[in-house]
C-alpha cells in the first residue's frame, strides 16, 4: 500500500523522484523519503506526513544525483514518523532500501541479525532487509547476489528497490506479491509500484512477476529469478495519458471521478453491447462462455466496494442466469477451507487488480481446480495476468481513495456478463434487447443525476455535524445502502451503517431519534410499498429521512424530509443510478467538514498487504 519510485540515468533524479511520489501519494501518505547516490554525496532524506513536506525539506539542499529511490508510506509496522519512514539503510548508511509489503518472519531475522552485531533503529519489519543484504555483502558477494541470497531467507510479500554506493551504476528491484513495473527510457530507466509515477517520462513498461529480480542500468536491464535463471521480458506500450491522472480543474480527484461517470460507464460498455441480438460481446470471456453458461455455481470474491458490486452481481446472476451465486469476502475466503468444486466459476473483482487478499483468494481457488476469472480496472495488473479469463472495466485511472466510478463500471461489467450468460440460456430476445437498450441510456441518466449536485450540497450542509447515519434499501438497492454507508465512513469519518430495510426492525430501530438521519434508497420498484411502510416506522420515531426516489414519485415527498429524485430504469441497473447521489452526499459532507476527501486518514488506494 506504499508508493515506490526509482531512477537511474543522466538527469538529476531528485525532482523525478518527488514528482513520482506526488503521483503515488494516493497509495500512502503517512511519511515519505528519498535516497540518493552520486560520486560526492549519498544521503537519505525523510519526513513524517505528506510528500509536500518532504519537498519543502529538500528544496534548499541543492541535491543532485543520477541514481535514487523514493517512497511514500502507509504504515503497517511502527508509527508513521520520520524514523520509520523509508528508505531504510544498513549500519554504514551506504545501502538504501524501499519496501512495499510485509516481511512475516522479520522477528526471527531481526534476532539473528542482532546476534551478528546489527543494530536496529526503527519499529518496522522492513529494516531487516538492508541489514540482511549487508550480511551477504560483507562475505564478498555482489549486490545482485546478496539480494538473491537475502530473498531466499525472507518470508512474506515485497516490492523492493535497492541501491548501493559501491555499485552506483545500477539499482536492483524485486517483486513477490506487491506490484512493480520497470519503465524503459532513452539512456535512463525507472522503477515504480504504479505506472502513474513514471508516465511523464516513458510509456514503455515491463511488468515484473512474482519471484523475479531485475538489475537495472541506464541503458539495459537483466531480469532473473531468485534461483538465478535469466528471463526474457516483454516491453508493453501503455495508452494511459497524463491528463487522465490530473484533476482537470476539479477541487478533488473524487469529484472529478464522480462527475466523469457518464463517460466511464460509456467506456465500460463501448463495443460490448450487441443490440440487435439482445446480448453482449466480451472478448476476455470469448473462450469460456459455454463453461460460464453451464456453471452449477458462481462465486464472487472481493473486498470493500468491489464486494458490494459483487452483491449486486449475485442478484443479477440469480435472477437472469438462474445460477446459484455466493459472494465471499476475499479476506476470509481461503481461511475457512471453502468448498470449491471443479465446475465452479469464481469471479475475483478488484479495481487495482493488486488487492492482496483478493489475489491470495484467486491463487487458492486455482490450486483447488476452480475456473478463475478476473474483473479489474488496471491493465497488466496481477489479477488480470493470473486469471484464466476476465473482463477489464475500462473506467480509466481512479486516484481518489474512495472508489466511485470503478463501482459503477464494475456493475456495468456484471450486467454485461449476466446478459451474455442469460441469452445463452433461456432469456428471450425481447428481454435481452430491453436490458441492452436500458444500459445504453445510462450515461444520459447519470448526467441528469449529476445536475443535482448543488441540491445535494445543500442537503449535506444540514447533516455535516451528524454523528451517525443509517442507510436502508431492499433487493438490488441493499448493496447500495452498504456502499453509501461505506463512502460516508471513508471520507467524512461519520459512523454509518447499511442494512436491508426490513432488518431495521431487528435492532437498528433502537437507534432512531430526532438526531438520526436515515437514507432510504426508494425507487418505484416491486419493493416500493414495503419501503413506504419502513419509512412510516421511522417517522413514528421522529427519525430524519433523506430519500433517493424515482422522478415520477410524488407520494414519497409527503413522508420524508429530503428527496433526491432520479430517473427510472430497470431494477437490475438501478444501483448504477441510486449510488451516485450517495457518493455526492458523502463528498460534500466531507468537504464541509474540511477533510481531505482524496486521502482520508488511515486508508490507501491499493491494499497490497493482507
Q: What amino acid positions are annotated as catalytic residues?
A: 2, 605
Residues 6+ apart with CB under 8 A from 397: 196, 240, 244, 245
Query: Do 478 and 312 touch, CB atoms closer than 8 A?
Result: no
Residues 6+ apart with CB under 8 A from 557: 563
CA-derived radius of gyration, the chain: 25
Angle at 566 between CA 565 and CA 569, to 5 degrees: 145
Query: Do 7 and 37 touch, CB atoms closer than 8 A?
Result: no
Paired residues of 564 in beta bridges: 548
Distance CA 435, CA 328 (A): 27
Distance CA 207, CA 225 (A): 14
Q: What is the DSSP string of 207-228?
A: EPPTTEEEEE-SS-EEEEETT-
**Ramachandran angles phi, psi of 473, nearest 5°:** -155, 165
What 3-state class would DSSP assign to 153? Answer: coil
Q: Which among 522, 528, 598, 605 is positioned nearest to 564, based on CA atoms?
A: 522
Per the omega criterion (within 30 degrees of 0), is the bond before 87 cis? yes
Q: Which among 1, 384, 24, 399 is positioned nearest to 190, based on CA atoms?
A: 24
Q: What is the DSSP string of 252-287?
A: -HHHHHHHTHHHHHHHHHTTTEEGGGTEE--GGGGG
> How far is CA 277 from each of CA 417, 437, 439, rounded to the nearest angstrom?
15, 11, 14
Instruction: Name the strand (E) or helix (H) holding 302.
Output: strand 297-302
And the C-alpha cell for 499?
Answer: 442494512
Tell me, rounded to whole angstroms, the distance of Cα 311 from its chain centroid.
18
Query: Do 351 and 403 touch, CB atoms closer than 8 A?
Result: yes
Q: Determine if residue 493 is left, alpha or beta; phi over 0 gives left, psi from -120 to 50 gives alpha, anything else beta.
A: left
And the C-alpha cell for 289?
Answer: 462462455
Query: Do 476 and 506 touch, CB atoms closer than 8 A?
Result: no
**Ramachandran angles phi, psi of 274, nearest 5°:** -105, 90
Query: Do 462 and 544 touch, CB atoms closer than 8 A?
Result: no
Q: Over the range 399-418, which residues count as b (16 or more CB within 10 Å of their CB) and which as e?
A: bbbbbbbbbbbbbbbbbbbb
Contacts 24+ apart (CB under 8 A), 227-236: 228/148, 233/182, 233/206, 233/207, 234/206, 235/184, 235/204, 235/205, 235/206, 236/204, 236/205, 236/206, 236/207, 236/380
Residue 605, judged by CB atoms within 10 A of its CB (0-12, 13-18, 19+), counts as buried
Pairing of strands 3-8, 67-73: antiparallel
Distance CA 239, CA 23 (A): 17
Amino acid at each position: 500500500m506504499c508508493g515506490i519510485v526509482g531512477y537511474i540515468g543522466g538527469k538529476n533524479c531528485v525532482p523525478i523522484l518527488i514528482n513520482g511520489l506526488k503521483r503515488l501519494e494516493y497509495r500512502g501518505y503517512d511519511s515519505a523519503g528519498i535516497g540518493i547516490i552520486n560520486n560526492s554525496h549519498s544521503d537519505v532524506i525523510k519526513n513524517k506526513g505528506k510528500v509536500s513536506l518532504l519537498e519543502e525539506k529538500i528544496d534548499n539542499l541543492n541535491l543532485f544525483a543520477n541514481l535514487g529511490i523514493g517512497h511514500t508510506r502507509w504504515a503497517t509496522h511502527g508509527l508513521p514518523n520520520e524514523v520509520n519512514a523509508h528508505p531504510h539503510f544498513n549500519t554504514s548508511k551506504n545501502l538504501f532500501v524501499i519496501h512495499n509489503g510485509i516481511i512475516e518472519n522479520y522477528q526471527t531475522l531481526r534476532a539473528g541479525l542482532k546476534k551478528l552485531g546489527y543494530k536496529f533503529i526503527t519499529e518496522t519489519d522492513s529494516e531487516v532487509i538492508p541489514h540482511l543484504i549487508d550480511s551477504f555483502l560483507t562475505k564478498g558477494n555482489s549486490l545482485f547476489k546478496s539480494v538473491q541470497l537475502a530473498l531466499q531467507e525472507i518470508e512474506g510479500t515485497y516490492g523492493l528497490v535497492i541501491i548501493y554506493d559501491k555499485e552506483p551504476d545500477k539499482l536492483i528491484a524485486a517483486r513477490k506479491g506487491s506490484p512493480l513495473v520497470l519503465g524503459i527510457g532513452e539512456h535512463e530507466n525507472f522503477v515504480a509500484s504504479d505506472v502513474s509515477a513514471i508516465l511523464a517520462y516513458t510509456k514503455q513498461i515491463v511488468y515484473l512477476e512474482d519471484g523475479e529480480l531485475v538489475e537495472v542500468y541506464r541503458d539495459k536491464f537483466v531480469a532473473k529469478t531468485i534461483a538465478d535463471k535469466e528471463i526474457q521480458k516483454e516491453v508493453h506500450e501503455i495508452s494511459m495519458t497524463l491528463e487522465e491522472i490530473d484533476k482537470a480543474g476539479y477541487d478533488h480527484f473524487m469529484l472529478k471521478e464522480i462527475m466523469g461517470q457518464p463517460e466511464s460507464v460509456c467506456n465500460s460498455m463501448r463495443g460490448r453491447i450487441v443490440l440487435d441480438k439482445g446480448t453482449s460481446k466480451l472478448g476476455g470471456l470469448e473462450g469460456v462462455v459455454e463453461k460460464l453458461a453451464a456453471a452449477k455455481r458462481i462465486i464472487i470474491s472481493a473486498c470493500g466496494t468491489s464486494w458490494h458490486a459483487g452483491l449486486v452481481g449475485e442478484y443479477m446472476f440469480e435472477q437472469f442466469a438462474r445460477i446459484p451465486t455466493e459472494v465471499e469476502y476475499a479476506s476470509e475466503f481461503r481461511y475457512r477451507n471453502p468448498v470449491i468444486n471443479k465446475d465452479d466459476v469464481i469471479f475475483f473483482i478488484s479495481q487495482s487488480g493488486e488487492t492482496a487478499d483478493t489475489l491470495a483468494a484467486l491463487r487458492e481457488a486455482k490450486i483447488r481446480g476452480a475456473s478463475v476469472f478476473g474483473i479489474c480496472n488496471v491493465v497488466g495488473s496481477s489479477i488480470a495476468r493470473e486469471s484464466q479469463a476476465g473482463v477489464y472495466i475500462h473506467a480509466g485511472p481512479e486516484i481518489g481513495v474512495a472508489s466511485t466510478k470503478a463501482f459503477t463500471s464494475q456493475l456495468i461489467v456484471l450486467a454485461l456478463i449476466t446478459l451474455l450468460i442469460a441469452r445463452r440460456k433461456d432469456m428471450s430476445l425481447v428481454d435481452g434487447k430491453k436490458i441492452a437498450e436500458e444500459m445504453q441510456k445510462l450515461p444520459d441518466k447519470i448526467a441528469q443525476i449529476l445536475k443535482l449536485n448543488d441540491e445535494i450540497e445543500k442537503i449535506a450542509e444540514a447533516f455535516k455535524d451528524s454523528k451517525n447515519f443509517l442507510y436502508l434499501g431492499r433487493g438490488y438497492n441493499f448493496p447500495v445502502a452498504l456502499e453509501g454507508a461505506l463512502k460516508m465512513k471513508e471520507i467524512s469519518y461519520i459512523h454509518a451503517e447499511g442494512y436491508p430495510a426490513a432488518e431495521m426492525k431487528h435492532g437498528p430501530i433502537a437507534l432512531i431519534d430526532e438526531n438520526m438521519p436515515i437514507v432510504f434508497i426508494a425507487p418505484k420498484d416491486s419493493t416500493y410499498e414495503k419501503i413506504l411502510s419502513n419509512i412510516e416506522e421511522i417517522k413514528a420515531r421522529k427519525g430524519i429521512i433523506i430519500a433517493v426516489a424515482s422522478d415520477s414519485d410524488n407520494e414519497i415527498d409527503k413522508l420524508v424530509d429530503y428527496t433526491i429524485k432520479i430517473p427510472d430504469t430497470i431494477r437490475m441497473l438501478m444501483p448504477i443510478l441510486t449510488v451516485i447521489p450517495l457518493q455526492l452526499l458523502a463528498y460534500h459532507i466531507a468537504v464541509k467538514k474540511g477533510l481531505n476527501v482524496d486521502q482520508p486518514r488511515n486508508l490507501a488506494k491499493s491494499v497490497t498487504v493482507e
